[in-house]
Amino acid sequence: MTRKLGKGAVALVTALTIAAPAALIPSVASAYVFNDVRIEGAQRIEPATILSYANIARGQDVSAGELNSALQRLQNAGLFETVEVEPRGGVLVIRVREYPTINQISFEGNRRIKDDQLSQVVQSQSRRVYQPSQALADAQNISQAYATEGRLAARVDPKIIRRSDNRVDVVFEIREGDVTEIERIGFTGNRAYSDRRLRNVLETKQAGILRRIIRADTFAPERIPVDQQLLTDFYRSRGYADFQVQAVSPELTRERDAFYVTFNIQEGPRYRFRQVNTISEIPGVDAAPFAAQNRVGQGDIYNPAAIDNTIRRMETVAIQQGLNFVNIEPRVTRNPQSQTLDLTFALTRGPRVFVERIDIEGNTTTQDQVIRRQFNTVEGDPFNPREIRNAAERIRALGYFSDAQVNSRQGSNPEQVVVDVNVEEQPTGSLSFGASYGVASGVGLNASLNETNFLGRGQTVGLSIATADGDQQSSIRFIEPYFLGRDLRFGFNAFYNVTESLNSDYNTRSVGLRSSIEFPVSENGRFELRYSIKKETLSDVPEESSVILQDEEGSRTTSALGYTYSWDTRRLGLDPVTTYKLTFSQDFAGLGGDVDTVTTTALAGIESNAWREEVTLRAELEAGAIHGYNDYSPWILDRFRAGNKIRGFEPNGIGPRDLGAENEDGLGGNYYWAARAEAQFPVGLPEEYGITGGLFADVGSIWGLDKTVGTDGTIVDDDMHVRAAVGASIFWTTPIGPLRFNFSHAVKKEDYDEEQNFDLTISTRF
């Protein structure tokens, strides 16, 4: 039996709209039968589409609940601005008003982020149907874009302007607000290191006087996990094996313009190794050759990098002995009472798993071989998870990719593993212009063009031009990091340099070529072989200059073969507190050309952090000598000059000098030595200002000439006279480059030496 609706009921049903979904079908109507369904108001949407959403069967009983469900489905389709469902006897009328079409999208009030950037974060598009839910989502995406820029107070309101033909203009009204800065970064639970020291570890920085330029002082939630990992690595590399970041609490001020970020940390005790053993749990495998590779000693401070280095060395022994599927398992036993660790390297048999293949995706420019050579594993080798992780770090360190993910998954069978490499490339070329300043050379300008992934081959190509007062330099360079497919770094450089009365009364010109091959010889050591050929010219020597320089005026060609051995503990980074470096170089000139000399230089340096790592101490000792053979005497462009070897003096201000000449020229020397020591420390200013202080002391000498008869027959004093200077420095780390102000005073010098009591160095790129 079918009931008929009265006039009141019909009026009630007709009043159903999207704005009042609660007033749907009256309860007095329990069932209807519709012989026809009529659609009203549809322009773009096909009737069949509307009927499919309504899903009302003709000629069958339709309950009030089913009619209500049909209305809900039409409303939730996101196609209509309003929907009405009206039963008219045996006819169901569905009246809709479609959402308008978007005519155009615009942004108002935005200054910090340009229109084209905002257009990339909104999903609404012109000539598409306008949907309020999508407009709200777009407004949220714009707000998130501003939050990434540090403007958490940004507000975005989507508005519409109705046009003819059921079209609308969508306008996003933006109130950008101020930058939400990090006003303070604090720590709780730290005992071993001060807040100042820990803040220097973090990528996030407090707001400082350059807050309008420095963007690291804006709050970015995505940096918090990075900061947590940096703190963890910092503490654990210094012996705190139990260190944890228990919580990070960012608190927004009431004005929403600043954050207070607090890291709640638990340091735990500082551990040292007590007993270190190596055992083999593989029958027939002797542990002795593996134990010989141990680099963790009793009494050493706990450092995960030292353990990892030893494991890598032991794995190399396993490969050399033809042992596959050997795991080096570090077993650590804590002794909290004595704050020591017992470490056992256990050789165990690992699962028989091989690398089936390495799949690389996402590299549109970079060639596969550039990525593949970062793996020490190839298809068919035993699978080593630690080596895969190390390869991933090497890929990221290339600097070619904004993101690089390396994961492994099961291959065609349980004994096969596929390594997936997914990279996202980023620009590797740069065109930069910059400025430099030095008291000796004055203001200079420079420009450079560099590409670090030339043609996707991982090669570096660069062109640079620099000019300053009396000094012009230009060069072209090329570097192939994997020459002949091996760990051989091939370099080529062509240069042209000119000086005009730079710290002297004469001019020089130098043009030449240099090529080199560099390769590792140990974990921390590298060896470079090089060949260079250059033509140098000494010109415009005035009559007032020394007769020694006048006799040397002219051009000479130098063809030299040389080498450099360098040893630097920073390459492995096993000791985060103290690092050492050593270089030894020799160049043998005489393979053709006009110059027959042997030039030898050496440098040894140490840097260490003291006083809870608040103070950095540095010391360097270097020396050099040049000897002529085949009756050749080194000339001014061969000999050593002060340069920056001893602070407190001009670049050509010490060494043998012809006092009989009117301009008392500095002549340089065949030998030199210099010792430098300095300390860098906080000066009490907030570390976000980037200003620290320093004290330094330099001592050394330049001496020795083959020809000592100067102007008017005077004898040039070429003895080894010691010079010494002390001074203070101000270091200022700025976004435009590091600045260093040196104030010095010579405490031991000769009467004819030329002092330089102040020096400012600045090098900027933009």
**DSSP of 722-751:** -EEEEEEEEEEEETTEEEEEEEEEEEE--T
Asked if residue 148 and residue 31 are part of one domain, the reply reads: no
One domain for residues 325 and 471: no
Residues 124 and 154 in one domain: yes
Residue 107 shares a structural domain with residue 74: no
- Local structure of residue 645 (DSSP, 8 states): S
Q: 609 and 737 share a domain? A: yes
Domain boundary among 300, 334, 349: 349
Number of structural domains found in the chain: 6
Specify the pLDDT at position 208.
64
Portion of the chain with pLDDT greater than 70, in percent: 93
Q: pLDDT tens digit string along 681-706?
A: 999 887 778 899 999 999 999 999 99
CA–CA separation, 446 and 434 (whole Å)? 5
Question: Within a domain: residue 1?
Answer: no
Pair (586, 696) in one structural domain: yes
What residue numbers bound the domain in which 143 lies? 101-175
Res. 553: pLDDT tops 50: yes
**Which residues have a Cβ under 8 Å from the Cβ of 500 and sit 6 or more positions away?**
470, 471, 507
3-state secondary structure of 39: strand
> For residue 73, is it within any domain?
yes
d(CA 655, CA 749): 10
Does the pTM surpass 0.95? The reply is no
Q: Which of 105-109, 210-214, 673-677, 740-744 has the lowest mean pLDDT?
A: 210-214
Residue 763 confidence (pLDDT) = 56
Q: What digits encode the pLDDT tens for the residues 179-189?
A: 777 888 999 99
Q: Are residues 673 and 531 in the same domain?
A: yes
User: What pLDDT, on the 0 to 100 scale, is given for residue 33?
Assistant: 82
Angle at 469 between CA 466 and CA 473, to 5 degrees: 25
> For residue 96, what are its two tokens?
């809709």
Give per-residue pLDDT as tens, 229-275: 999 999 999 999 999 999 999 888 776 678 899 999 999 999 999 99
* Residues in CB range of 49: below 8 A, 6 or more apart: 79
Classify residue 528 as exposed, middle or buried by CB count within 10 Å of its CB (0-12, 13-18, 19+): middle
Distance CA 754, CA 766 (A): 35
Last residue of a domain, one of 282, 314, 349: 349
Rounded Cα–Cα distance for residues 700 and 471 (Å): 27
Of 162, 166, 160, nearest in space to 136 by CA:
160
pLDDT band at 678 (very low <50, low <70, confident <90, very high): very high
Cβ atoms of 646 and 725 within 8 Å: the answer is yes
Residues 541 and 436 in one domain: yes
DSSP 221-243: TTHHHHHHHHHHHHHHTTT-TT-
- Give a yes or no: residue 23 inside a domain: yes
Rg of the Cα atoms in the chain? 38
φ, ψ dihedrals at 711, nearest 5°: -65, 140
- The answer as to whether 2 is a domain residue is no
- Residue 185 parent element (H or E): strand 181-188
Q: How far apart are the first and last CA of the chain?
A: 85
Enter the tokens of residue 311: 């494991």
What is the model's pLDDT at position 713? 87
Confidence label for 15 from pLDDT (cuts 50, 70 and 90):
very low
Residue 345 lies in a domain: yes
226 and 276 inside one domain: no
- 3: confidence class by pLDDT, cuts 50, 70, 90: very low
**Residues whose CB falls within 8 Å of the CB of residue 57, separated by 6 or more in sequence, listed in order:** none
Q: Is residue 139 located within the same domain as residue 223? A: no
Span 734-760, pLDDT tens digits: 766 788 999 999 999 999 999 999 988
In order, the DSSP letters of 328-395 are EEEEEEEETTTTEEEEEEEEEEPP--EEEEEEEES-SSS-HHHHHTT-S--TTSBP-HHHHHHHHHHH
* Residue 385 belongs to a domain: yes
In this structure, the answer to whether residues 327 and 365 fall within a common structural domain is no
| Whole-number average pLDDT of the chain | 87
Identify the CATH number of the domain in which residue 66 sits: 3.10.20.310
Among residues 57, 73, 98, the one where a domain terminates is: 98
**Nearest alpha carbon to residue 166 among 124, 130, 136:** 130
Structural tokens at position 156: 């975005």
Percent of the chain with pLDDT over 90: 56
Q: What is the pLDDT of residues 426-462, one digit of tens each?
A: 999 988 887 777 776 778 888 999 999 999 999 999 9
Torsion of CA 500, 501, 506, 509, to 10 degrees: -30
Residue 433 lies in a domain: yes
Predicted confidence (pLDDT) at residue 6 exceeds the cutoff of 70? no
Residues 453 and 596 in one domain: yes
